[in-house]
Amino acid sequence: MGASTDHRRKEALARARADALAQATSERRQRQAVALAHLDCFQGVPLDDLLHLAEFCILRAFLPGTVIISERAPGMYLYLVLRGTVTLTLHDRAGRRSLIGVLNRGDCFGEGPLFGDQFRGATVQAETICYLLQIPLADLRVVLAGSSALAAALRTIYRRRLVESTLARIPLFSQLSPLERMGIAELLQPAHYGRGAAIIREGATGEALYLIESGQVIVEQGGQAIAHLEDGDFFGEISLLTSQPHNADIRALTPVDVLMLPAREFQLLLARQPSLVAQLQEVVERRRVAGSSVRSDAVRTATFASAVERGLLRGTHVLVRDSHLCRPDCRLCEDACATRHGSTRIHVDGVRFSGVEISESCRQCRVGAECIEVCPANAIRWNDRGALVIDESCTGCGECVSACPYDAVQLIPLERQHASPLHQLWRQLKQRRSTIPLEPVQQTHRADKCDLCHGYDDLACVRACPTGALRLVPVEELFPL
């Protein structure tokens, strides 16, 4: 009897302690949610949503000078500033560091990857001792799925910062102060154009300066492509400066997001910032010279058109071969690729341009990649080197193969893939699943393409080249405009 009484007493005490702990946890989380509600970035978000968010918050402290996020590095966390000051900087297209802004208590940063941002990372550095709340983006995505208000609040911040970083990346505006750029940002009108859409037509009156927020466009005169422009570039300035009709067509090569500065606001901006006139005139002259060079050289014109058609401008780099340094019958690079990956992912015979041959391989399309758009398993992702990688969730359906306009993706038998130990373990675990499908299907193939040797420290093809004829070069080196 006494033992039974002691047991019940212990159970009651354990329940009381558990209830007290749960109550303390609930009260602490309530206080955390109230604190989150007082941050400027979460104004208007329901307290219940913030209660869920509070579960994932981790308090972090950073000393002055600490780099919290590096530019172009893949982001993994959202940070909320509780105390201290951080600066956001990035490099413009000319390589100059530009200040985007200064953040203090109530601000947040690191939200970009939540909304598909791949190319607008910024360096975030602590200027003072900083106390931040760190939230894993993976957990935050779960919360956002059930909170439209929280998603809207973060998307508003993302959109504003996207405009500010776009302006900061454009050399024309990068040297203005953040306050001056914010004034310009308020005047910009966003617009979206689908792949192949005409944005400007030759002969039309200029109505705005266009800033490319995301995507790539082609400049055409008389139906002939003469230049390409991309993220951080602008166009439409010649018509506004000369009060003459547009002298070229501008067509979207990929899905394009632009920010338009109306003509009237553009003229007022030049009146307030006379230094911009000289910069614009310099750009106009460079483009005139480059365009004349292309138009006067029939071979160059045809080659550039071929490069556009074959998607060679859609990535940041291309693999080129100097045919003067390479024997016609040498295929050591292709053999090295096949040895490492189980199949040849590149073909060195491609488009000849400016004394080199641009090899045929995946373009690593930065915007509007057709393979990503059609993949039902979301198996194609970016790595931190700017390459598109097909991960282990690929089902071998082949949708990406038919969607790629450049025949850069192929289906290969699984036995031809050189599986890493991690991949072998994953396959073993997958085979041991207890669930039995109604109609067992054995996957026999998977998609394969060049991913710049993801997981390796070098490129197999470049390493195997005995003469240095093969190299990876920036697209801008071959196509400066």
pLDDT in tens, the chain (481 residues): 556 777 677 777 777 777 667 676 677 778 888 888 889 889 889 988 898 898 899 999 999 999 999 886 767 899 999 999 999 998 876 677 888 889 999 999 999 888 755 446 789 999 999 999 999 998 999 999 889 999 999 988 888 887 888 788 777 787 788 888 888 888 889 999 999 999 999 999 999 999 888 889 999 988 888 888 887 788 998 898 888 999 899 999 999 999 899 999 989 888 888 888 888 888 788 777 777 776 677 777 777 888 888 888 888 888 999 888 888 788 899 999 999 998 899 988 887 777 788 888 999 988 889 999 999 998 998 786 778 999 989 999 999 999 999 999 999 988 655 544 555 555 555 545 444 455 555 778 899 999 999 999 999 999 999 999 999 988 878 776 5
Among 364, 367, 317, smallest CA distance to 120 is for 367
Among 31, 174, 196, 207, smallest CA distance to 94 is for 174
Confidence at residue 348, expressed as pLDDT on a 0 to 100 scale = 84
DSSP 92: -
Domain boundaries, the chain: 34-173, 187-296, 317-478
Residue type, 253: L
- Residue pair 99/175 in contact by the 8 Å Cβ criterion: no
Assign a CATH topology to domain 34-173.
Jelly Rolls (2.60.120)
Confidence at residue 481, expressed as pLDDT on a 0 to 100 scale = 53
Output the CA–CA distances (angstroms, integers) from residue 189 to 171, 211, 237, 290, 415, in the order listed: 20, 10, 16, 29, 52
CATH architecture of 187-296: Sandwich (2.60)
CB-based burial label for 421 (10 Å; 0-12, 13-18, 19+)? exposed
Find the helix packing angle between 47-54 and 148-169, rounded to 10°. 70
* Residues sharing a CB contact under 8 Å with residue 326, sequence separation 6 or more, in sequence order: 348, 465, 467, 469, 470
- Residue pair 130/59 in contact by the 8 Å Cβ criterion: no
For residue 134, what are the β-bridge partners? 58, 79
Output the CA–CA distances (angstroms, integers) from residue 58 to 34, 53, 82, 208, 279, in the order listed: 16, 11, 12, 46, 46
- Do 187-296 and 34-173 fall under one CATH topology? yes
Question: What is this structure's pTM?
Answer: 0.69
- Interatomic CA distance for residues 161 and 107, integer angstroms: 12
Confidence at residue 429, expressed as pLDDT on a 0 to 100 scale = 56
- Residue pair 134/71 in contact by the 8 Å Cβ criterion: no
